[in-house]
A = this chain, B = another copy of it.
Amino acid sequence: DTSIVTKEKSSCKNGIDVMDRKKRSFESRTSVTNHPLARKLFEIMSSKKTNLCVAADVTTSAELISLAEKVGPHICLLKTHIDILTDFSKETVESLKELAATHNFMLFEDRKFGDIGSTVASQYSGGAYNIVDWAELVTVHGLPGDGIIKGLMSAINGRPRGCVLVSEMSSSGALTSQEYVSGCCKIAENHTYFVIGFVSQSNVSSDPRFILLTPGVQLDKSVDGLGQQYVTPRAAVLERGADIIIVGRGIREAEDPEAAAIKYKEEAFSAYLERIEAQ
């Protein structure tokens, strides 16, 4: 029977196994990346059977902690906008860190860094939020060029940290052209010791080292009033090539956020299994 051989057919580039990302299991991709946090994330996804990231866009610490407690067992990542909390304190991040350890998920601050290197270094490790201290992963715009990666790297001080490059945006009229996406891919490929993947709306890379995260995922609605456009979990994984779906309002605003998280998790993980088995 040659079907297994056919399934595992792969090509090589720069010594790295580049068999199409979308056809591989998360578990098998653990061995192609050298980034400790990419490996950790693949392991969480495999063991918890979840490729769900919840966008915790709430404005008080109590709501944030409550949401994290409810969805914690069902997610691989908790995406925060720490700068919208009206009552941020060190206790907030201590509680988040404890919940992340208890439920085995990672903290992912969606800061969308977008400045020159020297500035982002100060923003990452300074100010009221000291993001580098508690967020293992952050989002970064490739717009300023790769000095932004060097700037962030200069602030990590030996800690295991990584970033996800925002290569495409889900809002209407976004200026993320094909040329822009290519520029982001180049930055990622040159900085795999810090970049672990992309926020994207389409299959921007087939490199199995990179993890693709797709926001704007919701089961029911298709637009909001401020330019956000939605896609279903199944379409995100099967049509757009998402490894991880990012869900905000669909879970946060549900009557029962935990039940909603389970529903999204199951739909997204089934779609992923269907994808890797469909060879």
Contacts and interface: CB of A to CB of B under 8 A. Distances in A.
Interface of A: 57, 59, 81-86, 88, 110, 112, 114-119, 121-123, 126-129, 141-148, 150-151, 154, 166, 169-177, 179-180, 183-184, 187, 224, 226-228
A127 B175 contact: no
Contacts of A114: 112, 114, 141, 143, 166
Q: Which of the listed residues A110, A121, A122 has the most CB atoms from chain B within 10 Å of its own CB? A: A122
Nearest to A145: B173
A144 B128 contact: no
A259 to B, nearest CB: 24
B173 A228 contact: no
Chain A, interface SS category: loop
A224 B116 CA distance: 11
B172 A147 contact: yes
This chain's copy number in the assembly: 2
Contacts of A154: 226
Contacts of A174: 143-145
Given A83-B128, A143-B174, A144-B174, 15 more contacts: A83-B126, A84-B119, A88-B127, A88-B128, A112-B115, A116-B226, A121-B226, A143-B143, A144-B175, A146-B227, A147-B172, A147-B227, A150-B226, A150-B227, A177-B179
Nearest to A85: B127
Most chain B beta-carbon neighbours within 10 Å: one of A82, A127, A150, A166:
A127
11 contacts: A57-B122, A59-B126, A81-B122, A82-B127, A110-B115, A110-B119, A117-B171, A117-B224, A145-B172, A145-B173, A145-B227
A57 B179 contact: no
B143 A176 contact: yes
A154 B127 CA distance: 26
B171 A148 contact: yes
B180 A175 contact: yes
Nearest to A190: B173
B183 A147 contact: no
A154 B145 CA distance: 31
